[in-house]
Chains A and B, each alone.
Chain A
Amino acid sequence: MKWVLVAAIVFATVLGDLLQSHEMKRAGEQSVSARGFARLLHVIAQRRLLILGIACNAVSFFAFMALVQTEPLSFAVPASSASFVLETLLAKFVLHERIGARRAAGALAVLAGVILVGG
């Protein structure tokens, strides 16, 4: 059961972030003022893929809650950080982001850090 939850968390997180990144880049640069948030809500209402991305966030949130009810955080955090690796790879190959040596090295250091903090 716990691996089903981990798979659900990773899948929902990856899909949700890919959709949100793709859609937000297309929507153009947003700001976080009161007017900015109003405009952002308008953007969300118009983009179905963005709503799907937010729904994925909700799925991964509740699946994580269910996971930590039975498993220790030291399992849940490192296991769900698998999404981090997958997302970075997919950002390169699906979203066509340019990931140079410096960004790759930094991402690996962060990944190692997240596993140490969670473990």
Chain B
Amino acid sequence: MTKLTRSSGALLKTYLVLLFFLALKAGGNSAMAWGMKQVPERMSINPALYLRAMLNPFVAMGIAALILALLTRMALLSLADLSFVLPVTAVGYVLAVFLGKVFLHETVTRQRWLGTALIFAGAALVGSTSRNTTSNTAPVPQEPR
């Protein structure tokens, strides 16, 4: 494998991990929100209420997806700078606005659309910069000679 294809393969991997993270986060949050609406009790400081809420299958599924999302974000941090990961993962806000409009029929104000556009543009700008600028990453394993 040449150096060029190896680095573009790693770039592709970074974007795939990013997409996977965004899907898990959006799916997990939606499942959790849907499930919590079915739970009759109001949440308070009492931890037993949270444990009982977890018996709802949507809440349980949501929590599982969010735990996977946390692990995926850590994998993303192993591939790219923190100052790269933070802006590009903010695309999740855009996704939330979009999902809210399509599935929950929420009205989206003009201010919110403007914010969404700014997040998208900023994330695209950051996404075009080199993803890893520190040298303390473990080196790419050498090809067998």
Residues of A within 8 A of B (CB): 17-18, 20-21, 24-32, 36-37, 40-41, 44, 50, 54, 57, 84, 87-88, 91-92, 95-100, 102-103, 105-119
Contact = CB atoms under 8 A, between A and B. Distances in A.
Given A113-B122, A117-B119, A25 B78 contact: yes
B64 interface: no
A24 B138 CA distance: 10
B70 A107 contact: no
**Most-contacted residue by chain B among A88, A111, A117 (CB, 10 A):** A117
Contacts of A36: 75
Contacts, number: 156
Contact of B115 (A26, A92, A112): A112
Q: For chain B, what secondary structure do more than half of its interface residues adopt (helix, strand, loop), or is it mixed?
A: helix
Interface of B: 10, 13, 17, 20, 68, 70-75, 77-79, 81-87, 90, 93, 97, 111-112, 114-129, 132-134, 136-138, 140
A29 B138 contact: yes
A32 B72 contact: yes
Q: For chain A, what secondary structure do more than half of its interface residues adopt (helix, strand, loop), or is it mixed?
A: helix
A39 to B, nearest CB: 10
B144 to A, nearest CB: 18
**Most-contacted residue by chain A among B17, B119, B120 (CB, 10 A):** B119
A30 B134 CA distance: 16
Given A29-B10, A40-B74, A117-B97, A106 B123 contact: yes
Nearest to A98: B133
A110 B83 CA distance: 12
Given A21-B77, A109-B119, A27 B82 contact: no
B137 A110 contact: no
17 contacts: A20-B73, A20-B77, A25-B132, A37-B68, A97-B81, A99-B83, A102-B125, A106-B125, A106-B127, A107-B122, A107-B126, A108-B122, A113-B90, A113-B120, A114-B93, A117-B112, A117-B115
**Most-contacted residue by chain A among B20, B82, B111 (CB, 10 A):** B82
Given A87-B86, A117-B93, A117-B97, A100 B118 contact: no
